[in-house]
Amino acid sequence: NAGVTQTPKFQVLKTGQSMTLQCAQDMNHNSMYWYRQDPGMGLRLIYYSASEGTTDKGEVPNGYNVSRLNKREFSLRLESAAPSQTSVYFCASGLGTGKNEQFFGPGTRLTVL
């Protein structure tokens, strides 16, 4: 099992460019999540999807969109990147019960110039 995979690992964008971060899991989990990690801030939830076909905003959704393409895949899109979106982005998946762990991907390091 690959677990949670993310692409790309690194990306540099110019302000105003768009891009999509891809995430896939092979653990048959219902729930998937996108977080951003900034120095000294811990991880903050951007969007989550409790099941295929549903998505909900997290703590910091502005400037992002998501798509739950199927049960395995959950993508994060930046339509017009801003320097404030420079961060490390983590995708995670889990059973969604609250009592079980979330499994994290290796992350995407994004720099917006």
Site residues, other proteins (CB under 8 A):
4, 31, 40-45, 50, 90, 92, 94, 96-99, 101-107
Tell me how far, at minimum, the Cβ of 101 lies from other proteins, in Å.
4
Q: Which is nearer to other proteins, 38 or 79 (CB)?
A: 38
Cβ distance to other proteins smaller for residue 10 or 14: 10
Residue 46, burial from CB neighbour count under 10 angstroms (0-12, 13-18, 19+): buried
Q: Cβ 14 to other proteins, closest distance in Å?
A: 25
Q: Which helix (H) or strand (E) holds 9?
A: none
Least Å distance between CB 80 and other proteins?
Answer: 27
> For residues 14 and 40, which CB has a smaller minimum distance to other proteins in the complex?
40
CA pair distance 12, 46, nearest whole angstrom: 20
Q: How many angstroms separate the CA atoms of 69 and 112, rounded? A: 26
Give the residue with the Cβ less far from other proteins, 7 or 18.
7
As a whole number of angstroms, the distance between CA 84 and CA 9 comes to: 19
Query: Could you tell me the two tokens for 107?
Result: 């992350």
